[in-house]
Amino acid sequence: MSAGALINAVWDLYARIKEKPLWLLISEMTPEELVSCIDFTDLHDALTKSEAFDILKKQESSRKVRMNALIKRGYPAYTTSTGWFGYSEDRIRSLTREAIAKGWSAFKIKVGKDTELNKRRSLLIREEIGYSKKLMMDANQCWEKDEAVNQIEALAPFDPWWIEEPIHPDDILGHRYVREKVAPVKIATGEHCHNRVMFKQFLLSHAIDVCQIDSCRVAGVNEILSIMLMAAKYQIPVCPHAGGVGLCEYVQHLSMIDYMCISGTMENRIIEYVDHLHEHFVDPVIIRQARYMPPTNPGYSVKIKEQSCKDYTFSTGKIWN
């Protein structure tokens, strides 16, 4: 994560110098330039330099068409803000109704150890959104392997698109075990994967259905490029983890780079959105009809407000007093 902070900062500065948002800067790079950004050490059994080049070259000629589509329509998003633990059932219902009125069609709820509570919350939100809209569930690593299988089987009637982090995030073989047992329910993970080799192992062992990169967990944009290319080779959709601590502002660029340069599609791809804490940023993300609109400011297109930096600086900020 320390490496990611430094490398992301360098990319941010580079894009600011070029006066382009990061997603656009990288989307205008040639396949040769993009491949030169990637360290293929320890990846050759999953992705070679020539394979990466071929993936990028395949998408190069149609970038302009996708650029127009992205600028016009944005990138699809889902909301996590209606289904947090601790919310009353009435609040979940009201927040869900408000989200539907704003155009949201994909929702995520938290699930945990209590099977009956999981089922009741899942039924509640399905009553509000119906079965035409997408529902994802996030277990935040709280189950053991067989417990995960039992819990997911109990939740399967509510038609979850995916179950996120069902078990310990480092347990690659455990994820494969759970995935094989609960198919066709999809298994998603990746927000706690700390390097490209771990993602390689998840992909080679067929342990996940959805690759959830995190913009700050691994060593920055360069390593993210290698992970997205591996996911494209193995036809696993990339649906980033995000949140209201600046991650939404970061990952929008990464999904747009994936669409423009690597996967060439938004099908079965979506970015998480959480609606809190954006008030601390200058020019936060723009959401229209449940879609991220491409940012236009240079770099990562956002910075923390000076007052927020002052207030939250440890240990002199007023928050700490």
The pLDDT score that the predictor gives to residue 119 is 97
The pLDDT score that the predictor gives to residue 293 is 98
Confidence of residue 92 (pLDDT cuts 50, 70, 90): very high
pLDDT over 90 (residue 69): yes
pLDDT over 90 (residue 22): yes
State the number of CA atoms in the 13 A half-sphere of 12 facing the CB: 14
Number of domains comprising the chain? 1
Catalytic residues: 110, 241
> By percentage, how much of the chain surpasses pLDDT 70?
100
Confidence of residue 321 (pLDDT cuts 50, 70, 90): confident
Average pLDDT, the chain: 96
For residues 110-123, average pLDDT: 97
pLDDT over 90 (residue 197): yes
Q: Is 37 exposed, middle or buried (0-12, 13-18, 19+ CB in 10 A)?
A: middle
CATH number, residue 268: 3.20.20.120
Phi-psi region of 251 (alpha: psi -120 to 50; beta: other; left: phi over 0): alpha
Q: Token pair for residue 221?
A: 């944009």
Q: Token pair for residue 290?
A: 């449940």
Phi-psi region of 188 (alpha: psi -120 to 50; beta: other; left: phi over 0): beta
The answer to whether the beta carbons of residues 233 and 198 sit under 8 Å apart is no
Q: Is 291 helix (H, G, I), strand (E, B) or coil?
A: strand
Q: What are phi and psi of 3, to 5 degrees?
A: -60, -40
Q: What is the pLDDT of residues 254-313, one digit of tens each?
A: 999 999 999 999 999 999 999 989 999 999 999 999 999 999 999 999 889 999 999 999
Q: Token pair for residue 315?
A: 């240990």
Residues spanned by the domain of 90: 2-320
The answer to whether the beta carbons of residues 96 and 294 sit under 8 Å apart is no
Q: What distance in Å separates the CA atoms of residue 307 and residue 297, rounded to the nearest whole number?
A: 21
For residues 16-45, average pLDDT: 98
pLDDT over 90 (residue 151): yes
C-alpha Rg value of the chain to the nearest Å: 20
Q: What is the pLDDT of residues 153-179, one digit of tens each?
A: 999 999 999 999 999 999 999 999 999
For residues 190-208, average pLDDT: 97
Residue with structure tokens 């109990």?
154
| Whole-prediction pTM | 0.95
